[in-house]
Amino acid sequence: MTATTDGSTGAALPPRAAAASDTVLTTPEAPGAVQAAERAVRRATGHLLARQDAEGWWKGDLETNVTMDAEDLLLRQFLGIQDEATTRAAALFIRGEQREDGTWATFYGGPGELSTTIEAYVALRLAGDAPDAPHMAKAAAWVRARGGIAASRVFTRIWLALFGWWKWEDLPELPPELIYFPSWLPLNIYDFGCWARQTIVPLTIVSAKRPVRPAPFALDELHTDPALPNPPRPLAPVASWDGAFQRLDQALHVLRRIVPRRLRRAAMNTAARWIIERQENDGCWGGIQPPAVYSVIALHLLGYDLNHPVMRAGLESLDRFAVHREDGARMIEACQSPVWDTCLATIALADAGLPADHPQLVKAADWMLGEQIVRPGDWAVKRPGLPPGGWAFEFHNDNYPDIDDTAEVVLALRRVRHHDPERVDKAVARGVRWNLGMQSANGAWGAFDADNTSPFPNRLPFCDFGEVVDPPSADVTAHVVEMLAAEGLAHDPRTRRGIQWLLAEQEPEGSWFGRWGVNYLYGTGSVVPALTAAGLPGSHPALRRAVAWLESVQNDDGGWGEDLRSYQDAKEWSGRGASTPSQTAWALLALLAAGERDSRAVERGVEWLAATQREDGSWDEPYFTGTGFPWDFSINYHLYRQVFPLTALGRYLHGDPFAAAGRAEAEGG
């Protein structure tokens, strides 16, 4: 590995020929790409089958960054439920993620990040690490050099305000009366993406209550000037959007002092009912950790004691986000991905040649069928007449099924020869109908909601933590188009509108932006198979541009990789980075779909996957190739390194009969 100028590990520059990770184990080159692929598929199939749960699902760890772990400790401190064993295990994990320069990053090999470093530092102080310890002093010095606590994101300063380390009056105001805004009014809660909505509603209660639990120590070492810990922030010009929303926030601070107490109390109680109505059967909220954390705090502030059934279930659900490692460390997952992992694993195994009636595929199909959501959720605010029928990402998340999972589950179910085909047909019909009904006005699809495209939420001073709206994206739209084509709907006008949107979204050099995976490799690896499945020939100009781009960014080692920095600097980093198994697979899936099976680029990519496979059939991938919020929140899906290479190698050997069927239908129509 090389060191960058900012102290991170990874490529010093974005070279086309970035070296593969030195943690990847290599094997001698096979005598030919086909033989190498056959051997790799056998081993990978055995490895993946062995990882299936007895109930039929797969789930890999979902690794993000240490803010999850730090905030878990802060929550326990705030509620007074900390225990020595949990604190010790969490601190062990947080210390292990610290970089040489004393900072913490948000992804493997990335630069140090201010808010993440502050939260990790505070968590370690709660765990007993002394501020003058070398690793702590180094972190504090780095924080001060970059503006200290005052320069951190709003969410970090909210956590600090809970303990008196920051002043509530110096935070953006978030009034609970938002809960009364009708859905047609700008900045109503349904203008926000579902992940932001679930977080903002409980935070309106926290913001209104402004609680402070006495801190066990001061944090003077994290301020540039301890005598002025809360320096005023400059205002943007009044004629700018930022300036206008800053002044709106000032007005809300004034309003706080005059709003009738009865109205505020009623708004908080309405928000509490909204929260409780959305608690899942397992106690969590939306299947993700942050809303659960803030919901527990909000309800506690309204008088719900820790033994109340809602609170007890919520706290128990948080424990299920913990992954205990062999070294005794405890890592918190931001969410869990069993539905997503299971449908991708099913597709991979089927495309690799596993018989369609294999017992483990049938068991996976049974489990997926049982996970279909048949009651309305928040999505029905925009689509009130649409019958339910989607799938969610997590074990329990009936309020927020997503369009991406639904498309991929349908594709997975169609690959299995189930003993009850009528049941499968009915489930697929519900899923297809729901996905079609969630199409946005521009012809494309977002992840959770239709037409969630308001320009206002991202302007709020409060919303500096990442994406807070859910506009359509190329990767989700591509998966829906691919599914519709497989269902014989390639010529449906709604499918054609999605195709036209995808063609219009292609970047000039031939790639597509990846919203939920890193980045242009993910977008391109999603879109090209969808377009060919829908009937576009490999000779189509858009597909030729995509092929040319993929060939131009292939690394000298034969693989493909893309660093997360492409979200900030596409010109320098688009399609560039150390080769990874998942990103190499995405490139191969696009090239294979475009008819490049016999090209040298495909052969080299297949050989790279075969050569970097471990003896047990797995691949190693420390790099983060999943996306929550572009650049701001990155994900390492631990199963991506298994399912996508197996899918690509399987299609290299056997083709994709489902895509071929879609093309035949499109051409016949």
Residues annotated as part of the active site: 404
Q: Are 510 and 549 in contact (CB under 8 A)?
A: yes
| Cβ–Cβ under 8 Å, residues 369 and 423 | yes
- Furthest-apart CA pair in the chain: how many Å? 78
CB 124 within 8 A of CB 136: yes
* 410 phi, psi to nearest 5 deg: -60, -45
CB 642 within 8 A of CB 60: yes
Q: Per DSSP, what are the bridge partners of residue 322?
A: 332
CA distances from 97 to 65, 102, 124, 565 (A): 9, 10, 12, 20
Residue 530 CA to residue 479 CA, distance in Å, equals 7
Residue 253 sits at the vertex; the CA angle it makes with 247 and 258, to the nearest 5 degrees, is: 125
Burial class (CB in 10 A: 0-12, 13-18, 19+), 239: exposed
Q: And the tokens for 581?
A: 């198994």
416 with 428: CB under 8 angstroms? no
- SS3 category, 71: helix
Q: Whole-angstrom Cα distance, residue 398 to residue 279? A: 9
Our CA angle for 489, 492, 496, nearest 5°, is 105
What's phi and psi for 620, nearest 5 deg? -105, 140
Would the CA dihedral through 280, 282, 284, 287 be positive or negative? negative
Q: Where does residue 434 rank: exposed (0-12), middle (13-18), buried (19+ CB within 10 A)? A: buried
